[in-house]
């Protein structure tokens, strides 16, 4: 059996500890990424119609899940001292680290290069042309309407930009409401109810004032009086803030996970090399030449000196 030196023992202990930590780290990355996906990135992708940030979050979920699973592989490899298990462990974690870096870079690029004006205009066009129109006959319109209602309810916003209730009065949703065009504002709803403020119990504070108030918003763009029942923040502006938060979170998780993974990859690789060298030394037979006679001798191990090759007695290789 190969002799286990102190360095090899240190690397084994370190690998056992870091692999145990990978179980918690993997769960943490998966949990945070799922939160970003369900509550932030999924809605961002639908609202802005850009899937890059969603792809980065899904990539991090994969990274966290693989890290969690291969934490047990690392524990087995360190405990057994198996070079094949350690080799697979190193290769897989290296690929996970590269994927984590790719997710972080993708989030940085999308955060800084996405087309702000184009996205803003697309949101305005869909709200004005497809929101609340022909919901039974058009699956696309029904989906867009549901998305806008969900966004406005979850993000506490109304319209695209701040104070942009007027978009609804320029929309097909408003035009399709019954009433004479000359005095429609006195009868029709000026904004959908998802633009209205809710109290702590989830009930709308004042739907009538929110949707039909004549003295101020939403009937006029600005006025002397503030409508306390109406949401003033624009969904595009709130979305940008959420996008920055998600992108920063993905970037931090991606680069952080990469650094932590290398803290396990390096010792696992070194431990694998030590095991391979130990096996090589075990099967190699040291020889030396007698200085006086010029004859070759073989170290012949005895039962008491087998661990120290320098103490082996010499046996001639030239005769018999």
- Note the pLDDT tens digit of each residue in 128-142: 999 998 888 889 899
Distance from C-alpha of 138 to C-alpha of 76, rounded to nearest angstrom: 56
The pLDDT tens digits for 41-99 are: 767 777 776 677 888 999 999 999 999 999 999 999 888 889 899 999 999 999 999 99
Is residue 122 within 8 Å of residue 132, measured between CB atoms?
Answer: no
3-class SS at 294? coil
Contacts (Cβ under 8 Å, ≥6 apart) of 29: 60, 61, 63, 64, 67, 253, 257
pLDDT value at residue 17: 94
pLDDT of 185 over the 80 cut: no
Is residue 312 within 8 Å of residue 302, measured between CB atoms?
Answer: yes
pLDDT value at residue 113: 67
The pLDDT tens digits for 214-242 are: 888 888 776 667 899 999 999 888 888 88
Please tell me the total number of residues recorded for the chain in this structure.
Answer: 320
The pLDDT tens digits for 266-298 are: 999 998 888 888 766 555 545 444 444 444 444
**Alpha carbon distances (Å) from 245 to 53, 63, 279:** 11, 20, 51
Calculate the dihedral angle through the C-alpha atoms of 149, 155, 161, 167, rounding to the nearest 10 degrees: 20
Is residue 127 within 8 Å of residue 171, measured between CB atoms?
Answer: yes
Calculate the dihedral angle through the C-alpha atoms of 264, 269, 274, 277, rounding to the nearest 10 degrees: 170
């Amino acid at each position: 059996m190969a002799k286990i030196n102190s360095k090899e023992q240190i690397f084994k202990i370190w690998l056992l500890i870091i692999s145990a930590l990978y179980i918690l780290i993997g769960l943490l990355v998966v949990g945070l990424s799922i939160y970003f996906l369900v509550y932030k990135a999924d809605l961002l992708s639908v609202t802005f119609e850009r899937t890059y940030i969603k792809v980065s979050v899904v990539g991090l979920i994969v990274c966290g899940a693989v890290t969690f699973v291969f934490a047990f592989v690392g524990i087995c490899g360190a405990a057994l001292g198996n070079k094949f298990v350690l080799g697979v462990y190193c290769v897989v974690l290296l690929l996970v680290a590269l994927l984590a870096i790719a997710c972080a870079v993708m989030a940085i690029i999308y955060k800084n290069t996405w087309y702000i004006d184009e996205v803003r205009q697309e949101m305005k066009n869909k709200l004005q042309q497809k929101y609340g129109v022909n919901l039974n006959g058009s699956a696309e319109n029904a989906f867009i309407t549901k998305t806008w209602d969900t966004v406005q309810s979850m993000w506490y916003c109304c319209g695209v930009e701040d104070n942009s209730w007027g978009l609804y009065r320029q929309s097909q949703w408003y035009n399709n409401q019954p009433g004479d065009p000359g005095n429609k504002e006195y009868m029709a709803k000026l904004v959908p109810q998802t633009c209205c403020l809710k109290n702590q119990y989830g009930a709308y504070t004042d739907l009538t004032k929110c949707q039909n108030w004549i003295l101020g918003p939403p009937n006029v763009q600005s006025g002397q009086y503030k409508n306390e029942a109406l949401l003033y923040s624009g969904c595009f502006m709130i979305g940008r803030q959420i996008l920055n938060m998600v992108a920063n979170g993905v970037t931090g998780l991606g680069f952080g996970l990469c650094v932590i993974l290398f803290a396990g990859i390096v010792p696992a690789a070194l431990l694998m090399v030590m095991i391979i060298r130990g096996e090589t030394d075990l099967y190699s037979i040291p020889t030396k030449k007698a200085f006086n006679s010029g004859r070759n001798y073989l170290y012949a191990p005895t039962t008491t000196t087998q661990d120290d090759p320098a103490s082996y007695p010499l046996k001639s290789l030239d005769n018999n």
